[in-house]
Amino acid sequence: MSNHLKVAIQGGPASFHDVVAQQYFAGQVIAIVPCMTFQRVCAAVKSREADFGVMAIENALAGSILNNYSLLQDYPVSIIGEAYLPIEQNLLALPGQSLADIKLVRSHPMALLQCTNFLEENPHIQALESADTAESAREIRENNLVGVGAIASRMAAQRYELEIVEERVENYKENYTRFMIISRKPLADKSQANKASVIFTLHHRAGELAKILDVFRDLFINLSLIQSIPILSQPTEFAILLDLEWEDYATFEEAISLITPLIVEMKILGIYQRGKR
């Protein structure tokens, strides 16, 4: 077991996080460390219970998961990679049931948010939030729950021997989720790196953010995401999160040296290689 890579994921076996872990670390022997919360994923990496962690950060339909950016800021972990996964949500239940038989559906809040049209069209079904998509499927099988469905992946249906009552129940068929791969240490070899996530706070003066953005524009560094992140300890304050992409790593280094005097505080959440969409 010692040569296994231990990978912490939010959720359990057959969850979307598990799918990403298996794909990202393909060719390596991995042992999944299931975690019920994203905070637990970060804690597992910090405490060396896991070598790496996988955490969702953004969904094409639901947007950024702001709390996860706060966790990446607060924990001594670093993003070393990213992965995009097309998300297909299916209604799963014990075999032999129809859609009319399902009175309750359980899933992760993010999955339920991605399937609001389906739930609206079926008002006889009550939605109930749970910790994980695949764990909802497992509980149906283990407790033999008749009349209860789970919104989850095909992998979860296969693993827990459930039937797909309705397939592709997500609102948006081009739906994908972006995941971050985290580690205790930053990426050692940055020769292939072409993306970074940076979070910083600014002085309260007009035009401060514009000065920062001008630096990136002048160096032809692309901003693929700009997001304000609430600072929990200071309810009226916000940090700025930028995802930066470049052709030449030296330009990123130059940009960071130029913006450092202009900001109050900064953390580079990670320098990594862009994931393929």
- Residue from 97, 114, 203 nearest 151 by CA: 114
Where do the structural domains in the chain lie, given as residue ranges? Answer: 5-87+175-183, 89-166, 195-272
Asked if the model's pLDDT at residue 29 lies above 60, the reply is yes
Query: Hey, what CATH topology would domain 89-166 get?
Result: D-Maltodextrin-Binding Protein; domain 2 (3.40.190)
Q: Average pLDDT for residues 76-85, to the nearest whole number?
A: 97
- Tell me what pLDDT residue 15 has: 92
Provide the token pair at 71: 């966790």
Q: Is the pLDDT of residue 178 over 50?
A: yes
Q: What is the pLDDT of residue 2?
A: 54
As a whole number of angstroms, the distance between CA 213 and CA 121 comes to 44
Q: What's the pLDDT score for residue 206? A: 82
What's the mean pLDDT in 258-265? 93
Q: Is 138 within 8 Å of 123 (Cβ atoms)?
A: no
Domain 195-272: top CATH class: alpha beta
Q: Write out pLDDT tens, residues 123-143.
A: 999 999 998 899 999 999 999
What distance lies between CA 202 and its chain's CA centroid? Answer: 26
Q: Do domains 5-87+175-183 and 89-166 have the same CATH topology?
A: yes
Residue range 5-87+175-183 forms a domain whose CATH class is alpha beta
DSSP for 5-47 reads: EEEEEEB-TTSHHHHHHHHHTTTS-EEEEEESSHHHHHHHHHT
* Main-chain phi, psi angles of 109, to 5 degrees: -50, -40
Q: Residues 217-228: pLDDT tens digits?
A: 999 999 999 998
Q: What is the average per-residue pLDDT within 227-235?
A: 77
Predicted pLDDT of residue 1: 43
Q: Is the pTM of this model over 0.85?
A: yes
Tokens for 209?
């953010």
pLDDT bin (cut points 50, 70, 90) of residue 95 is very high
